[in-house]
Amino acid sequence: MTVPLASVERAGLATVQDGGRHGHADVGVPVAGALHRERHLQAAALIRGALDATCPALEVLQGDLVLRMHGAAVACVVGPATWSVDGHAAPTRTAVRVSADAVVSLVHQGPGPSYLAVSGWQSTLTLGSASTDTFSRLGGAVVGAGFVLTGDVEASLAPEAGAFHRDLPPIVGPLRVVEAGSALIRDLAEAPWRVLDVSRSGVRLSGPRLPAGGTVASAPMLPGAIQLTPSGEAIILGPDGGLTGGYPVVAVVATVDLDRVSLLAPGGEVAFRAVDVDEAVRARAERDALLRRGLTRVHLLS
C-alpha cells in the first residue's frame, strides 16, 4: 500500500534524481540524472542492496535538508554532509533505521552533491525516470518545504540497517578527455583552466587562448562534451545541458571522470589529459569494479 513516508520541512538547493532518463534524446529529452553517479549508486546500494540506478534520492547541492518521518524506514546519506536523526549524529555511507515521527536533518558541506535515500520511496516517474531536469523542469521535483515522499510501507522496512559502503579512493590528476575530431585537444591540455560558473547544465571555463572556431552546424551533444565558444571560453556540458549545440566540440570527458566535474567550484582550476577510447573504457571498468565491491552488510543495528 502506498502511503506518505516522509515530508520535507526545510530544503536548500535540492532535487529528486536517479540514474537518468535515457533513450529519449531523439525527441529532445535530456538525460538529467544524478550529478555524481558514484555517490548516488552507493546510496542506492545501501537502500536496495544493489547498484540500482532506478533508485530515487534527494540530491542536495547547497544548504540543509530536514525530513519528518511518517513511518519507520531505513535512510542513508552519501556525500559531503553531516546528518542526524532526532539530533543524534549518524554515519554517512551507512544504512540507519529511523522510527516514525523522527526528524532527519542533513547539512551539506561540499564539494559536489550529497544524496539522501529512504527505503520504500517510490517517486513519480516521467518517461521512466524520477530525475529532475532543472532546465526544463521535466520530471521529479525541485524540492521544497511540504514535498512528500510516498511509497510502500512494507518495502520501507526491508533493507538491512547497519550495511555500509566503503569510501572509494579519490581519483586525482587531470580530467581524462577523448578526442572528438578536433586538432585542438592538445592545446586544451597544455595549461590549466579556471572555473567560472558551475551548474547542473554545465561548467564554464576560461583558459589558454585557443583559436575560436565560431559557430558550426548544430549537432547532437552529450554530457561531458567540451565546447569552445567564439570568445575562447570552454563549456563542459552537464546532465541537464542541451542536446544540440552550434559550437565546436574539442573533446569529451571520459565517463570515469564525469563525477569529478561535479566537484569543481568557481575560482578553482582544472586540467585535462588526452587519452584514447580503450584507456577510457578500461578505467571506467576498473572503477565500477571497486564500486561493486564496496557494499558490506553487517548486523550493526537490531
Cell numbers standing for residue 256: 570515469
- ω into 91 cis (within 30 of 0): no
- Mean pLDDT value of segment 43-48: 94
CA atoms of 82 and 88, how far apart (whole Å): 11
Residues contacting residue 285 through CB under 8 Å, at least 6 positions apart: none
Helix 277-293 to helix 37-48 angle (10° resolution) is 30
Position with higher pLDDT, 154 vs 178: 178
Give the pLDDT band (50/70/90) at residue 300: very low
Quote the pLDDT of residue 174: 96
CA atoms of 190 and 272, how far apart (whole Å): 8
Question: Cβ of 137: how many Cβ atoms within 10 Å?
Answer: 11
Contact 80, 19 (CB under 8 A): no
Cell numbers standing for residue 83: 546528518
175-290 has CATH 3.40.50.12500 classification: no
Task: State the average pLDDT for the chain.
Answer: 90
Give the pLDDT band (50/70/90) at residue 190: confident
Bridge partners (DSSP) of residue 57 are 17
* 237 closest CA partner among 294, 198, 278: 198
Asked whether residue 287 carries a pLDDT value surpassing 60, the answer given is: yes
Cell numbers standing for residue 63: 544548504
Asked whether residue 302 carries a pLDDT value surpassing 50, the answer given is: no
Range in 70-79, 181-190, 260-269 with the lowest mean pLDDT: 181-190
Quote the pLDDT of residue 231: 85
Q: Enumerate the domain spans of the chain.
A: 2-167, 175-290
CB < 8 Å & 24+ apart, contacts of 222-231: 222/25, 222/31, 222/252, 223/31, 223/258, 224/252, 224/253, 224/254, 224/255, 224/258, 224/261, 225/180, 225/249, 225/252, 225/253, 226/177, 226/180, 226/188, 226/250, 226/251, 226/252, 226/253, 228/184
* 95 closest CA partner among 168, 164, 6: 164
Contact 253, 261 (CB under 8 A): yes
Contact 106, 77 (CB under 8 A): yes
- Mean pLDDT value of segment 10-23: 95
Range in 94-103, 169-178, 219-228, 269-278 with the lowest mean pLDDT: 219-228
CA atoms of 163 and 80, how far apart (whole Å): 19
pLDDT in tens, 88-134: 999 999 999 999 999 999 999 989 999 999 999 999 999 999 999 98
* 16 closest CA partner among 120, 130, 165, 117: 130
CA atoms of 4 and 272, how far apart (whole Å): 46
pLDDT in tens, 204-253: 999 887 765 566 767 778 899 999 888 889 999 999 988 877 788 889 99
